[in-house]
């Protein structure tokens, strides 16, 4: 069994970079712009995650896969839930 790869997701304004998100596979770092809508956030997170898992994959393929995965997740009602700092997550049984 292979060892799980460590990663970190950071949210910050990426205006200077003119990007919604970016990935640095060597560092295991995904950066997302804080101003994204919920659906776009889902798409960009998946897109950058694909870059992290498959750094050799071309941008066109990654873009297509990210959008397809976003549509699958969105159709199954996966949504981002924002909690206040130090808030307890809701209990799901």
Angle between helices 59-75 and 38-53 (to 10 degrees): 130
Q: Give the pTM.
A: 0.83
**CA angle, 52 as apex, 47 and 58 as ends, to 5°?**
65
pLDDT tens for 31-89 read 999 999 889 999 999 999 999 999 999 999 999 999 999 999 999 998 887 777 777 77
| Residue bearing tokens 């873009």 | 63
| Residue bearing tokens 């799901």 | 92
At residue 12 the predicted structure's pLDDT band, cuts being 50, 70 and 90, is very high
pLDDT tens for 13-33 read 998 989 999 999 989 999 999
Hey, what domains does the chain have and what are their CATH numbers? 8-75 (3.30.2010.10)
| Residue 30 and residue 9 in contact, taking contact as beta carbons nearer than 8 Å | yes
pLDDT reading at 2 higher than 70: no
């Amino acid at each position: 069994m292979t060892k799980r790869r460590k990663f970190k997701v950071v949210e910050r304004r990426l205006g200077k970079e003119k990007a919604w998100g970016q990935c640095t596979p060597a560092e295991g770092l995904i950066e997302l712009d804080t101003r994204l809508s919920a659906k776009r956030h889902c798409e960009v997170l998946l897109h950058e995650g694909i870059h992290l898992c498959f750094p050799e994959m071309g941008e066109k393929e990654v873009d297509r896969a990210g959008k397809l995965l976003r549509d699958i997740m969105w159709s199954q009602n996966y949504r981002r839930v924002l909690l206040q700092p130090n808030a307890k997550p809701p209990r799901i049984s």
